[in-house]
Structure 1
Amino acid sequence: MFAAEAENEEFMRVVDDLVAGAESDPELAQGLKWIDMQSREKGVTFYEMTLIVLKKHMAERRAREWLKAKVSPA
Structure 2
Amino acid sequence: MCGGPALYARHSLEDKPHLIYNCDETGFGDKPRSMEKVLSQTGRKHIYQQQQTTREHITVHCCVNAAGDSIPPFTI
TM tier relative to shorter chain: under 0.3
TM-score by length of 2: 0.25
Structure showing greater relative contact order (alpha-carbon pairs closer than 8 Å, 6 or more residues apart): 2
TM-score, with length taken from structure 1 = 0.25
Structure with greater Cα Rg: 2
Structure with the higher strand share, 1 or 2: 2
